[in-house]
Structure 1
Amino acid sequence: MTDEKIKKSIAPCGLCCETCFAHVNGDIRKYSMKLKEKLGNFHINAKRFETMLNDPIFKKYIDFKEMLDYFASENCKGCRNEQCKLFKDCGVRSCHQEKQIDFCYQCDEFPCDKTNFDTGLYKGWIMINEKIKKFGLEPFYEKTRTRPRY
């Protein structure tokens, strides 16, 4: 796979956009849509199962369905195509555009305090960029694209 195709999947921060729940072509969205299809009108029967099976877990089906609908409906096209829909105040995209670099590790100021990430994401951001730098983009992508993001 070419670096240009990989860059469509890997955001400037190094996160794999396709493994995000919000990505239009991501597995989470795809499988959520498939599960919604398979469940059909299960919400109509959830109350019946609660009574028939005497199992209160079915009371929570409405919350589950709401979350499933959310996962199935998101449609982000990736951070290189639009502003991130998860981290609305992410400072990486604008910085990478301004500096004309592909990934944060390529910047002379890396690591910096312009990301606006919380502590956990900030530590992950540094680690990810160091891995891309050390192993190269394609090997990093091959490992990342099949690994769960969360």
Structure 2
Amino acid sequence: MDYREAVQDLAPCGLDCSRCADHERGEIKQLSQRLRQLLGNYGRLAQIKAAEKPAFEHYAHFREILSLFADGPSCGGCRSAQVKCPISCLAKTCHKEKKVDFCFQCGEYPCTEQFKDLRGLRKRWQENNDAMKETGVAAFHLEQKKRPRY
């Protein structure tokens, strides 16, 4: 992985947009679509199995959630014109004004005042940016790919 790929996948705050469940090319979306296809008409069998395993009584609800993952909003990531992220984050626009790819590259970093109201995101934002600054963006990106997104 190189710097250019990292900029495509990572938001300015350091979160990995490409691993988000709503990312248009994300693995979660792709795997959900594939699983839905493979399950086909499994609902009929789920009804039969429900007699022995009551969890299968909720198969229709599972199928509905699976469809939300498969067909949910298609977000292109925080750097795209197709941003559908529910998190209100100033980094999406601030990095453009400051002409940097990531927050840690800004001379005003860490501007924690802007992130004070974002619950647990502020800590994660600073940890991500400190790690990118210390290990390099490409190395950070590679490490993120090995971890669960959520």
In the superposition, the TM-score normalised over structure 2's length comes to 0.87
SS at 1:76's partner residue?
coil
- Equivalent pair of 1:10/1:141 in contact (CA under 8 Å): yes
User: Structure 2 unaligned runs (5+)?
Assistant: none
Equivalence for 2:38? 38
1:136 maps to 136
Distance in 2 between the 1:18 and 1:73 partners? 16
- In structure 1, the gaps of 5 or more residues are none
Give the letter aligned to residue 54 of structure 2.
Answer: P
CA shift for structure 1 position 116: 7.0
Q: Quote the sequence identity (%).
A: 36
Q: Which residue of 1 aligns with 2:10?
A: 10
Look up the equivalent residue of 1:91 and give its one-letter code. L
Aligned-pair distance for 1:78? 1.2
Q: Shift of residue 117 of structure 1? A: 5.8
- CA deviations 1:34-84 (Å, max 9, x no partner) are 111111122243223213x2x220122122111111111132111111364
Q: Which amino acid aligns with 1:19?
A: R
| Distance in 1 between residues matched to 2:82 and 2:88, nearest whole Å | 9
Which letter does structure 1 place at the counterpart of 2:28? I
SS of 1:134's equivalent in the other structure is helix
Partner of 1:61: 59
Between stretches 107-116 and 70-79, larger displacement belongs to 107-116
2:112–2:122 CA contact under 8 A, matched in 1: no
Q: TM-score, normalised by structure 1?
A: 0.87
Secondary structure at the aligned position of 2:128 is classed as helix
Q: Trace 1:1-150 onto structure 2 (pairs within 5 A).
A: 1-51=1-51, 53=52, 55-74=53-72, 75-82=74-81, 84-107=83-106, 108-115=108-115, 118-150=118-150
Aligned equivalents of 1:78, 1:146: Cα separation in 2: 19
Q: 1:117 to 1:29 in 2, by over 3 A?
A: farther
Kindly indicate whether the alpha-carbon contact (under 8 Å) linking 1:111 and 1:126 is maintained by their aligned counterparts in 2: no
Distance 1:95 1:86, change over 3 A: same
